[in-house]
Amino acid sequence: MKVRPLSIDGAWEFTPVQHGDARGLFAEVFKGDLLSEVIGHRLDLAQVNLSVSAAGVLRGVHFADVPPGQAKYVTCPSGAILDVIVDIRVGSPTFGQYDTVLLDDVDRRAVYLSEGLGHAFCSLADGSTVTYLCSTGYNPSGEHGINPLDPELGIEWPTQGRDGRPLTYELSPKDTAAPGLSEARESGLLPQHGDVAAFLRGLAEE
């Protein structure tokens, strides 16, 4: 499996080796020992989520309070998405910046994002299926969002789907009503870079 660090500290891309023949293919899409080596601690798997999205659906930007935060290992076993990781850690050198990875059923890449980062994606095909291996379970009181179309974030969302057709974005009411980056920062919703770093050091020492 190939590992590539993203431009946002605390996020990585994983590309598995695929073994195929006339019957189909096989790939190791998650390796706990390798992930532990890369991130510096073991991933405590608490919950696995799955979503299915039509072309043009935007989900995110979602994040959780730190501690405990919610690290995610994200794959797209069917269809295609543009996955987006946003640095929302106040005080981080890359605060407000983002990186993207195409997750699909061709290269079968995955992304890992550490606690304290924001996550979003755009579905590029009908029926795109996304799985999330999560370090913590769902906690509605500790989970928040930023509007993915916030001009300050300036995310360059794709305008065409996998089939070349124009995309019409569709957001949930919750994501539509989510604040922009500055509003979220001013209201104290965003994690502090120093607090996140201290929390991650604690995980590495366990």
Instruction: Count CB-CB contacts under 10 A for residue 9.
Output: 15
Active site residue 132: yes
Distant-in-sequence, close-in-space partners of 179: CB < 8 Å, separation ≥ 6: 146, 147, 187, 189
Identified catalytic residue from 19, 98, 132, 144: 132
Active site residue 62: yes
In angstroms, the CA 155 to CA 45 distance is 30
Tokens of 198: 């201290």
First to last CA, the chain: 26
Identified catalytic residue from 41, 62, 144, 193: 62
For tokens 């005080």, name the residue.
91
Q: Which residues are catalytic?
A: 62, 132
